[in-house]
């Protein structure tokens, strides 16, 4: 009997190696997959093959899935590690091409694996969340959003034991809410929004200690949903009643500023395929050759209205996750600042452009040499400097935005933010990332007011250093 | 290239575990031309030799996908799997035939760089490239045709798509061509799959390329020493004149 396919077939496309290995294992061991199951423990190569065969059975034969799963329980000797690895590989490399039935089955088996604490099930869920595309309101994407959320919402006991999954899910669904909430419409969508709100509110109100793991970017993404009443209340409490979250280390919003967001959060909102394409672009493609790759990237990932919501996530990824080696930096490969410049220019709507610029400068606002990485702040500076004189409008736009940010992001901490920006510029100069800021300061195409303001950050360098010394001596409670 | 290696290792490992069954299931994938050659060998070879041939043939088909060819490994695999070491003259002859056949096969299925292709009336081009641009779809009798610019790390060339290829392949696709043909087709020098070849998409985006030289924009002349071969005479244009360099 010819078994079902797992992935969509397209003419002229080579057979997917993962599907091939799963199907071949299934064909080979078909007869062993019916009860009664042998009780002998298979040797490693056969064990792996059996896992492959069972995986195919579960994905392709919904009516027999429970039988296959029972079989798996009976033979498992490695905590399901091989099994979840198979699903993880399939998810990372081919999720979008899965047919409807295997996709449903995949989610079903993932929910089953939670109950038995399978190895690496957390990684599998993170991978599933990465498959939910930002700004995409198609049926299938919204369906995935709902289904994953349902599983998470039904398993809070497990979630509380897995801080990474909980905080990652909070990050993902806060970001998705910012996309979804503006959409009116179907009953299903309203239900999804309601679920998302309930989930995020519960995570923040009842498990703030774990939510805090996100760090400073939690503030950034929360701000995009503060117009939603439940989050308006949360925001008010964060500002004026931090104690209500019942976490001793959290006495003020600025406590979050000092927590650098771990880089794995910035992978959550870009798919594995997007990630590998961006990494390829920034590792191998030479200056001058990037135009075609950029066009293909846009055609694949940024072509529908709403897709721009991912640009700020991509900027965050480039600044904070992808740090090229010195060898690559000094080679002829295209630089991060150039790719960011192209992304900024791709924004068609102000809202998304502003978010992208915030993503670019976010680490400047809170930079502390002791904990933060200079690679996070480097692209913004290089983009500003290198855009003079040919693309001076970019420099102009960025400078304007930077000052707006410093003045308005958090009016109660304006001085601190300004100090951190100064410290960032200072460090970039000291480490030789830029040799001199003269091209910027002496450029006539930039308005004198902006240049003067920029200059004002520089003499503050000396003051800034002294201030930091004083602060170290009198330990503060921040 | 580092990006291809892991798949090669995966395939090789699988052969070690499942050699027999994979071999047998792959017999059906033997192309018709090779099938008849195999027929000859089945009449003179015993099961063991055929087994060796099929095993290695299968492996070759797999490595065709990865693009890596290791002649020494192929031949030593044959030695390892073929237990007949002593033996009658007939058996020795079989082995000899086997090796000759396989050596021939290896050379026939090597993946080449685009810069090394030469116009010929044979369908022996095995190459991997990325599609840069598509032209307009036109009709040629009953079938659709579509010109395209493709390239690998060494050169670019005009690729003529045919039939369902036209709608399937998109710029950014990485394509593996097996048994393709590089020849004059209606006065254009193009690479195409032809009747015996096959083009398949194997990936997207992650491949480097150069757009010059363009092998279709070269004037070729017959080699005075060997009239069956072509040699490069002059460069008509460094870049494609149909598609132009990327703006």
Is there a contact between A12 and B165 if contact means CB atoms under 8 Å apart? yes
Q: Hey, what are A38's tokens?
A: 């042998």
A21 inside 8 A of chain B by CB:
yes
What residues are paired with B162 via a beta bridge? B145
Predicted confidence at residue B218, as pLDDT, reads 93
pLDDT at B41 over 50: no
pLDDT (tens digit per residue) in A37-70: 777 777 888 899 999 999 999 999 999 999 999 9
**Own/partner long-range contacts of A97-103 (Cβ < 8 Å, ≥24 apart):** A97/A7, A97/A8, A97/A16, A98/A6, A98/A7, A98/A8, A99/A4, A99/A5, A99/A6, A99/A7, A99/A8, A101/A4, A101/A59, A101/A60, A101/A62, A102/A4, A102/A6, A102/A7, A102/A59, A102/A60
pLDDT (tens digit per residue) in B99-154: 555 544 444 456 889 999 999 988 889 999 999 999 999 988 889 999 999 999 99
Q: What is the DSSP string of B125-136?
A: EEEEEEEEEE--
Residue numbers in chain A where pLDDT is lower than 70: 1-3, 185, 459-478
Residue to mutate among A3, A9, A14, with most B CBs inside 10 A, is A14
B28 inside 8 A of chain A by CB:
no
Give me the residues of B, 128-167, that contact A with CB < 8 A: 132, 164-165
Q: What is the distance in angstroms between the Cα of A388 and the nearest Cα belonging to chain B?
A: 22
Q: What is the distance in angstroms between the Cα of A405 and the nearest Cα belonging to chain B?
A: 36
Domain ranges (residues) in chain A: 1-7+14-119, 149-261, 270-477
Is there a contact between B176 and A21 if contact means CB atoms under 8 Å apart? no
- Residues of chain A contacting B246 with CB distance shorter than 8 Å: 291-292
Q: Specify whether the CB–CB gap between B91 and B119 falls below 8 A.
A: no
Question: Who's near B6: CB < 8 A, 6+ residues apart?
Answer: none
Predicted confidence at residue B111, as pLDDT, reads 80
Q: Which comes out higher in pLDDT, residue B32 or B73? A: B73
Which residue is listed with tokens 């950014």? B172
B244 inside 8 A of chain A by CB:
no
Predicted confidence at residue B23, as pLDDT, reads 41
Predicted confidence at residue B95, as pLDDT, reads 52
Give the CA distances from residue A27 to residues A21, A33, A41, A84, in Å, rounded to whole numbers and listed in that order: 10, 10, 20, 21
**A with B: how many residue pairs have Cβ under 8 Å apart?**
57
Is there a contact between A21 and B14 if contact means CB atoms under 8 Å apart? yes
Q: What is the distance in angstroms between the Cα of B187 and the nearest Cα belonging to chain A?
A: 27
pLDDT (tens digit per residue) in A375-388: 999 999 999 999 99
A24 inside 8 A of chain B by CB:
yes
A11 inside 8 A of chain B by CB:
yes
B82 inside 8 A of chain A by CB:
no
Predicted confidence at residue B190, as pLDDT, reads 96
pLDDT at B26 over 70: no
């Amino acid at each position: 009997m010819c078994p079902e396919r797992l992935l969509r077939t397209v003419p002229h496309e080579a057979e997917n190696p993962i599907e091939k290995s799963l199907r071949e294992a299934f064909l080979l061991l078909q007869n062993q997959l019916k009860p009664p199951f042998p009780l002998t423990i298979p040797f490693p190569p056969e064990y792996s093959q059996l896992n492959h065969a069972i995986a195919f059975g579960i994905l392709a034969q919904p009516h027999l899935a429970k039988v296959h799963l029972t079989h798996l329980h009976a033979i498992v000797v490695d905590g399901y590690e091989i099994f979840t690895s198979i699903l993880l590989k399939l998810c990372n490399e081919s999720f979008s091409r899965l047919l409807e039935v295997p996709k449903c089955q995949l989610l079903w088996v993932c929910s089953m694996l939670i109950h038995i604490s399978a190895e690496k099930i957390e990684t599998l869920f993170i991978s599933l969340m990465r498959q939910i595309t930002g700004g995409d309101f198609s049926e299938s994407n919204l369906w995935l959003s709902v289904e994953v959320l349902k599983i998470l919402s039904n398993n809070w006991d497990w979630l509380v034991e897995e801080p990474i999954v909980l905080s990652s899910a909070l990050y993902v669904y806060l970001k998705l809410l910012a996309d979804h909430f503006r959409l009116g419409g179907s009953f299903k969508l309203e239900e999804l929004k309601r679920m998302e709100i309930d989930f995020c509110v519960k995570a923040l109100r009842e498990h703030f200690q774990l939510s805090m793991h996100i760090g400073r970017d939690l503030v950034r993404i929360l701000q995009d949903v503060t117009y939603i009443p439940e989050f308006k209340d949360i925001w008010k409490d964060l500002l004026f009643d931090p104690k209500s979250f019942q976490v001793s280390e959290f006495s003020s919003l600025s406590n979050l500023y000092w927590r650098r967001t771990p880089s794995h959060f910035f992978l959550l909102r870009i798919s594995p395929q997007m990630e590998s394409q961006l990494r390829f672009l920034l590792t191998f493609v030479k200056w001058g050759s990037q135009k075609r790759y950029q066009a293909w990237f846009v055609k694949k990932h940024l072509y529908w209205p709403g897709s721009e919501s991912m640009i700020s996530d991509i900027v965050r990824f480039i600044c904070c996750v992808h740090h090229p080696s010195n060898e690559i930096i000094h080679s002829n490969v295209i630089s991060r600042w150039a790719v960011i410049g192209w992304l900024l220019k791709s924004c068609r709507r102000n809202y998304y452009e502003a978010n992208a610029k915030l993503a670019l400068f976010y680490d400047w606002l809170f930079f502390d040499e002791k904990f933060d990485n200079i690679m996070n702040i480097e692209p913004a500076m290089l983009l500003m400097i290198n855009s003079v004189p040919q693309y001076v409008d970019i420099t102009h736009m960025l400078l304007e935005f930077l000052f707006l940010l410093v003045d308005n992001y958090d009016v109660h901490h304006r001085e601190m933010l300004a100090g951190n920006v100064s410290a960032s510029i200072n460090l970039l100069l000291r480490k030789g990332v830029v040799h001199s800021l003269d091209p910027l300061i002496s450029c006539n195409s930039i308005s004198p007011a902006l240049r003067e303001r920029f200059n004002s950050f520089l003499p503050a360098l000396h003051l800034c250093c002294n201030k930091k010394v004083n602060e170290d001596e009198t330990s503060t409670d921040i | 290239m580092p990006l291809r290696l892991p798949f090669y290792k995966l395939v090789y490992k699988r052969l070690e575990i499942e050699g027999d069954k994979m071999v047998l299931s792959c017999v059906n994938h033997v192309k018709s031309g090779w099938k008849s050659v195999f027929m000859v060998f089945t009449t003179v070879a015993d099961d063991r030799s055929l087994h060796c041939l099929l095993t290695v043939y299968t492996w070759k088909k797999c490595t065709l996908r990865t693009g890596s060819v290791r002649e020494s490994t192929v031949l030593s695999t044959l030695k390892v799997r073929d237990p007949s070491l002593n033996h009658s003259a007939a058996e020795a002859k079989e082995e000899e035939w086997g090796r000759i056949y396989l050596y021939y096969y290896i050379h026939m299925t090597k993946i080449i760089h685009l810069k090394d292709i030469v116009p010929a009336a044979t369908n022996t081009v095995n190459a991997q490239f990325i599609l840069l641009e598509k032209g307009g779809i036109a009709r040629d009798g009953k079938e659709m045709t579509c010109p395209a610019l493709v390239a690998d790390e060494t050169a670019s060339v005009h690729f003529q798509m045919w039939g369902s290829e036209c709608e399937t392949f998109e710029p950014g696709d990485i394509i593996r061509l097996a048994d393709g043909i590089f020849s004059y087709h209606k006065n254009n020098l193009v690479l195409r799959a032809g009747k015996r070849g096959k083009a398949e998409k194997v990936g997207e985006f992650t491949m480097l390329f150069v757009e010059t030289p363009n092998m279709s924009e070269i004037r070729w002349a017959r080699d005075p020493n060997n009239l069956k071969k072509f040699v490069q005479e002059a460069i008509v244009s460094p870049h494609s004149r149909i598609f132009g360099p990327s703006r």
